[in-house]
Structure 1
Amino acid sequence: MIARRTFCQLAGLALAGVTVPDDLEMRDIRLPGTFSKRMTLFLPKQPPRDAGARDAGASDAGASDAGAGGTARLLVLLHGLGETTEERAGAYAWIERYGLGTAYARLRHPPVVRTSRREDITDARLAEINVQLSAKPFGGMVIACPYLPNVHATHTPLDEVARWIVETVVPRARAESDATGHPASATEIDGCSLGGYLSLEIFLRRPEAFNACGGVQSAIGESSAARYAERFAKAMARVGPRDVYLATSSRDPFRLGNEALARELGKRSIRHTLRVLPGPHDQPWLRESGTLDMLLWHDQR
């Protein structure tokens, strides 16, 4: 059974309609921009656990700067196509639809157990997660969730999107969290479906701004894998090694594309993690396993 404290937290959050755990403070922020003016921001209420160990284990990219001057870990999360219809839906997608709050609470208060009747996470993976958390408790991070429109329909240039994320979203998130120091060594980006595609594209345009990137069921095709891997190789030749996270599922229509990208990254000796979990490409999968696994990777890598 779920630990009593976690169960009570989640039950209360469900009644409230927005699943923000006690560990986080949520802010609804207005931003300047031509195509997006809104994001939600989640701030840990307690100092991150094991901060010194995480800083000591930072990747080669800016490792000497990680944690300098009180820098907080910042994760930018991008939403999927279904929430591009209006700003509130996109800004609130991760907390209201993708299970960000419940995943955060489950990781902060283990043991992690299955919460759905669907087996979107295996017993073996649950056991691995709990071993990880036993060895190194989930520390937490600042999380920024900006709204983005359907860039394909609006023909928004991806260079403009990348510039807005790096020059507007990230600085505002850091100002709100009172974090100082060198941000690139402690800033990461991820997303789901369309947001996963955008995460990769933004990282590849501005790799100097991020220490890692990822995609959860990223909307990429198998035929594009080699081109993406070449772009990653060129980016990392310029800015140094970065970690890449790729998550998909057994019935994800983009599974072949994500698996192919992982193979191509491997051929080029680019550090990456590929996670293939059971389940379809939908929001219940995100709420049960996709969001949880993604947060754990960013916290513990």
Structure 2
Amino acid sequence: MSSIDRRSFLGALALLGCSRRDQAVAEPPAPVAKALPEMPEAGAEPMPRGQVGTQTWTFEGGGRAVVVQPTWIKAGERLPLLIALHGRGEALKGPELGAMGWPKDYALLRAIARLCAPPITPPDLENFVDEKRLAETNRDLAARPWKGLVVLCPYLPDVDLRKPAKIREYGDYLLKSVLPRASRELPIVASPAAIGIDGVSLGGAVALRVGLGAPEAFGAVGTLQAAIGEDQVAELTELAKTARAKNPALALRLLTSKEDYFHNAITKTSAAWRAAGIEHDFADVPGPHDYPFNRGPGAIEMLLWHDRKLARA
């Protein structure tokens, strides 16, 4: 494939907001967790670290979200909140199945259990391993145990990434319907500095747009293999510059992988941000743009980064 053809191919993928695998895989492999435990009753004794409960929320207009909440916290304890957005494969499944992207299809529950019982091993990463990074991760976890997050996994429709109005509409839904309910019903820290947003592929692109568009509402904005195009680098740089001016404490991260279809666009966006003086974290890890990556490096990287960046009081 020529360089011109490759650029055109990547541009088409960015336009669709998905990878070829997102389109082709109708049924991902069965998750490690065969059943999701329900949320414990109020006042129940804390469970062992690593165990979580779940509940499903519905919203007016057909919206749906799954809450993944640690059950080991003490009465009155509050945790940071992470909004985790799935990829296009789950968007095409509809709200009921799509909202299960992170909890089920991407093995988020397994990732939480493993972060609570380090060391992380190559099988935990689906064998997509950078030995140096794995050693650093385990040293970090030994020095600072993973404390835990409440993870809120809303269904993300198959929005057109080239139509900003649709992304703004979805962002308004998160900010005006989902987050207010989370503040009322979940044991979370009542501060924007304790709220993060992240996502993979389609979800990564939407998390980036929503987070940069409402920087005062978040403490951290991360992405995994965000479905962005090289022609969007300048625009995303201006958005990040404006967001950081409004919220100087906003943590930012771009993560790609060696076989990610959006590798070039994400790498160039990071370089542009650094040239513009926009401090952020950047990671380029092993793995493809596919379900095994989400279940391995994707879930663990996302949970660990937000655990380190979000406020706890």
Measured against the shorter chain, the TM-score band is: 0.7 to 0.9
Aligned to 1:101: 109
- CA distance, structure 1, for counterparts of residue 272 and residue 211 of structure 2: 17
- Give the drift of 1:270: 1.8
Partner of 2:68, secondary structure, is strand
Aligned to 2:54: 26
- CA distance, structure 1, for counterparts of residue 293 and residue 188 of structure 2: 33
- 2:80 is aligned, of 73, 85, 92, to 73
Is residue 160 from structure 1 mapped to residue 174 from structure 2 by the alignment?
Answer: no
- Give the drift of 1:254: 0.2
- CA distance, structure 1, for counterparts of residue 288 and residue 81 of structure 2: 29
Conserved in 2, the CA contact under 8 Å of 1:74 and 1:144?
yes
The one-letter amino acid of 1:133's match is L
Mapping for residues 139-154 of structure 1, pairs under 5 Å: 139-152=147-160
- Give the drift of 1:16: 2.2
- 1:169 is aligned, of 164, 174, 178, to 178
Aligned to 1:41: 67
- CA distance, structure 2, for counterparts of residue 219 and residue 240 of structure 1: 25
Against the structure 1 CA distance between its residues 280 and 207, is the aligned structure 2 distance closer, same or farther, given a 3 Å change threshold?
same
Conserved in 1, the CA contact under 8 Å of 2:50 and 2:112?
no
Aligned to 2:195: 187
Conserved in 1, the CA contact under 8 Å of 2:199 and 2:205?
yes
User: Greater CA deviation, 147-156 or 102-111?
Assistant: 147-156
Against the structure 1 CA distance between its residues 176 and 140, is the aligned structure 2 distance closer, same or farther, given a 3 Å change threshold?
same
Mapping for residues 226-237 of structure 1, pairs under 5 Å: 226-237=234-245
Conserved in 1, the CA contact under 8 Å of 2:79 and 2:148?
no
- 2:282 is aligned, of 274, 278, 283, to 274
| Cα deviations by residue, 1:260-288 (Å, 9 ceiling, x for unpaired) | 11111111222211111112100101112
Partner of 1:218, secondary structure, is coil
- CA distance, structure 1, for counterparts of residue 57 and residue 162 of structure 2: 23
User: Greater CA deviation, 135-144 or 272-281?
Assistant: 272-281
- Give the drift of 1:115: 1.1
Conserved in 1, the CA contact under 8 Å of 2:80 and 2:149?
yes
Mapping for residues 223-262 of structure 1, pairs under 5 Å: 223-262=231-270
User: Greater CA deviation, 192-201 or 284-293?
Assistant: 284-293
TM-score by length of 1: 0.82
The one-letter amino acid of 1:41's match is V
Mapping for residues 131-142 of structure 1, pairs under 5 Å: 131-142=139-150
Conserved in 2, the CA contact under 8 Å of 1:19 and 1:96?
no
Partner of 1:241, secondary structure, is coil
Conserved in 1, the CA contact under 8 Å of 2:125 and 2:296?
no
Partner of 1:269, secondary structure, is coil
- 1:284 is aligned, of 272, 292, 299, to 292
Conserved in 1, the CA contact under 8 Å of 2:212 and 2:221?
no
- CA distance, structure 2, for counterparts of residue 123 and residue 175 of structure 1: 42
Against the structure 1 CA distance between its residues 175 and 154, is the aligned structure 2 distance closer, same or farther, given a 3 Å change threshold?
farther
Partner of 1:27, secondary structure, is strand
| Cα deviations by residue, 1:209-253 (Å, 9 ceiling, x for unpaired) | 111101100000122112101111012212323111111110101
Against the structure 1 CA distance between its residues 73 and 102, is the aligned structure 2 distance closer, same or farther, given a 3 Å change threshold?
same
Against the structure 1 CA distance between its residues 169 and 117, is the aligned structure 2 distance closer, same or farther, given a 3 Å change threshold?
closer
- CA distance, structure 1, for counterparts of residue 103 and residue 272 of structure 2: 33
- CA distance, structure 2, for counterparts of residue 239 and residue 215 of structure 1: 18
Unaligned runs of 5+ in 2: 1-30, 39-48
- 1:201 is aligned, of 177, 186, 209, to 209
- CA distance, structure 2, for counterparts of residue 186 and residue 95 of structure 1: 21
Unaligned runs of 5+ in 1: 1-12, 49-68
Conserved in 2, the CA contact under 8 Å of 1:191 and 1:197?
yes
C-alpha RMSD over aligned residues: 2.4
